[in-house]
Amino acid sequence: MAEPVVKCYEVGDVVELTSANPIDLGIVDAGDTGDPVQVNIWNNKGGASDLSKMENVRITAVTQNGYNSGDTIANGKDAVEQRYIGIKSITNEDENYTQVGGATTKVLGDIRGDLLVAPGKPTGTPGHSNGGRVRPGTYYAAVSAVDETGETLKGIESDAVIVSPMIEQTVEDADTETLDTVTNTRISRKFVATQEYLSGAVFKEKTSGTLVGTVRIETDNAGSASGTLVHSNLEITNVTLTPNAASYIFFAAHGPLVIGTTYHVVFIVTGGSGVLRGTTTGTTNQVKYYNGTWHDSTVKDLVVKLISDNEIVWAWAAATNAVTYKLFRTTSSGVYGASSLVSALIALATYEDKIETTITGSPKATATVTRGHKHETDLVLVVPTNAQSGAVDMNIRTLYQFQ
């Protein structure tokens, strides 16, 4: 790659500092400190092709003739030898100034001159985790890398990642008994665990229902719910079902199950009344209602999902020079709406995706980063009490290596 192209600008990056327009640090009396002046050091500003990185950038003050020492007072001899110039990196968030002059330099680090590339194609692995709220479904994801200039174009989209429920029944052709706080106060659905953890459940309430209640997982007693909670995690109170919609109910933390063991998911009415949707098809009655004792329901099964996997762990190949990443998720391949952002400011090339629904933000259609990169600094003039009088001229020298 070609050698870096270095330029310095005043704050705002419009006015370039040159020999015809030098830095003016103002007039400072002996024993005083001047006001800081921002100077931005650029590599490849406005460039149309990649340039090499400026490596190990250092900055110092030299006399007007470029000397580290000697010369005349008017040409900056004292200013250089006594290190009048203080430099602080804004980019690195320095708190204190470093006094520089001649061989004494301030290290700034590297300044790139290339376009940030897109990160690698993400892969997703379903799993279960405390606090996970990813719903069952098919998901795709894309990742953008971000450097100090902004966000790149999104990388290649992932392959489909399927988050499967442990139990799913979607047929609805019948109503359950009316549930309320007085007569039919509970309803249960029997199931056999096929996975080691449970993290949530889905019920569907009929239009105009007002059901509020507790969802819990109980052990089996001769085919009916026993009243014994399987685990303290597997209960959630004050659940309000949404009429004519699938209500996703996630426990605060997933709870353990024993594969092959029979359990019951139970809804206990604590307020309102309503009817759940189900089906009369099938040969085995999975559903019972409770009015003091358990009875077979008129439906053989409920519209229900039992959720085990509730997260996706995404991983991708890192993009060189990326500061952070953004992760976007969709349920329709290639379609990322205005609300498809899972998380920004991701520091590593992996992310534990737990959120139920995405938030505002979509991938960039066009890359917004440039090939120009800068390091922002503050310069200040600190004049000792024994300084000579008169105007002083000097230069700032930037030293670096390049690839």
CATH code of 385's domain:
2.60.40
Q: Across the strands, what pairs with 186?
A: 268, 290
CATH number of residue 204's parent domain: 2.60.120
**pLDDT band of 390, cuts 50, 70, 90:** confident
Q: Using the structure block, give the residue that is written with the tokens 């600190």.
A: 382
In a domain, 55, yes or no: yes
pLDDT surpasses 60 at 50: yes
The DSSP element (H or E) to which 42 belongs, if any, is strand 37-43
- Judge whether residue 403 has pLDDT over 60: no
**83 Cβ partners below 8 Å, 6+ apart?**
61, 99, 100, 101, 102, 104
- With beta carbons less than 8 A apart as the criterion, state whether 186 and 268 touch: yes
Residues 364-370 have a mean pLDDT of 85
Query: Is 154 in the same domain as 197?
Result: no
Q: How far apart are CA 234 and CA 223, in angstroms?
A: 20
- 322-341 pLDDT, tens digit per residue, is 999 999 999 999 999 999 99
Q: Is the pLDDT of residue 387 over 90?
A: no
Burial of 364 (0-12, 13-18, 19+ CB in 10 A): middle
Residue 359 inside a domain? The answer is no
388: pLDDT confidence band, cut at 50, 70 and 90?
confident
Q: Is residue 293 part of a domain?
A: yes
Residue 143 maps to a domain: yes
With beta carbons less than 8 A apart as the criterion, state whether 340 and 199 touch.
Answer: no
| pLDDT > 80? residue 347 | yes
Same-domain pairing of 270 and 188: yes
pLDDT of residue 389: 65
Residue 402 is predicted with a pLDDT of 67
Average confidence (pLDDT) over 111-121: 91
Give per-residue pLDDT as tens, 219-249. Answer: 999 999 999 999 999 999 999 999 999 999 9
Percent of the chain's residues with pLDDT above 70: 99
Q: Verify that 159 and 172 share a domain, yes or no.
A: no
AA identity, residue 21: N
Do 331 and 301 fall into the same domain? no
Q: What is the pLDDT of residue 284?
A: 83
Q: What is residue 135's predicted lDDT score, i.e. its pLDDT?
A: 97
My answer on whether 10 and 68 are in the same domain is: yes
For residue 230, how many other CB atoms are within 10 A of its CB? 22
DSSP conformation letters of 201-259: EEEEBPTT---EEEEEEEEEETTEEEEEES-TTSEEEEEEPPBTSEEEEEEEEEEE--T
Tokens of 348: 């590593």
Position 238 in a domain: yes
223/276 same-domain check: yes
Domain that holds residue 198: 167-307
- Does residue 361 sit within a domain? no
Residue 329 resides in a domain: yes
> Are 84 and 130 members of one domain?
no
For 288-305, what is each residue's pLDDT tens digit?
Answer: 999 999 999 999 999 999
Nearest to 132 by CA among 327, 394, 291, 355: 355
Q: Mean of the per-residue pLDDT values for the chain? A: 94
In a domain, 365, yes or no: no
Same domain for 298 and 174, yes or no, is: yes
Same domain, 215 and 278: yes
How many C-alpha atoms does 50 have within 13 Å on its Cβ side?
Answer: 10
- One-character DSSP codes across 72-101: -TTTTHHHHHTT-EEEEETTTT-SS-EEEB
On whether both 282 and 184 belong to a single domain, the answer is yes
Same domain, 296 and 177: yes
Number of domains in the chain: 3
pTM for the complete prediction?
0.81
Q: 303 and 339, same structural domain?
A: no
DSSP conformational letter for 189: E
Residue 134 has pLDDT above 90, yes or no: yes
Structure confidence at residue 125 as a pLDDT band (50, 70, 90): very high
CB within 8 Å of 293: residues ≥ 6 apart: none
The pLDDT tens digits of the residues spanning 23-33 come to 888 888 888 99
Number of residues assigned to the chain: 403
pLDDT of residue 259: 98
